[in-house]
Amino acid sequence: MKKIALVGFQGGEMCFLHLLINAIEYQAKGYEVAVILEGATCGLIPRLEARELFASKYLEVKPMIKAVCRACAAQLGGLEAAEAGNLP
């Protein structure tokens, strides 16, 4: 099986939406997908977990999330939501 890692760094909503779409499309093509949240994307976690932002796509991709930067999440207010959502 082919593998791909998609790493989100930018905090822009449309950039993150593209990451979600790409993850879904790669998985549909048979890839094993690993999504890693770094940098400013960690600030989106509270809204993602509250289903305020791209809810259906986020829920589809959530099992593909393999890592969240703890330091970035702590600095950008996403750590509590990441832990509550059982994100790695």
| pLDDT tens string 36-68 | 999 999 999 999 999 999 999 999 999 999 999
**Among candidate residues 60, 46, 50, the one with its CA nearest the CA of residue 17:** 60
For the chain, where are the E strands, in sequence order? 3-8, 32-37, 65-68
Using 50, 70 and 90 to split pLDDT, how confident is the model at 84?
A: very high
Distance CA 65, CA 5 (A): 10
User: pTM of this prediction?
Assistant: 0.93
Distance CA 21, CA 14 (A): 10
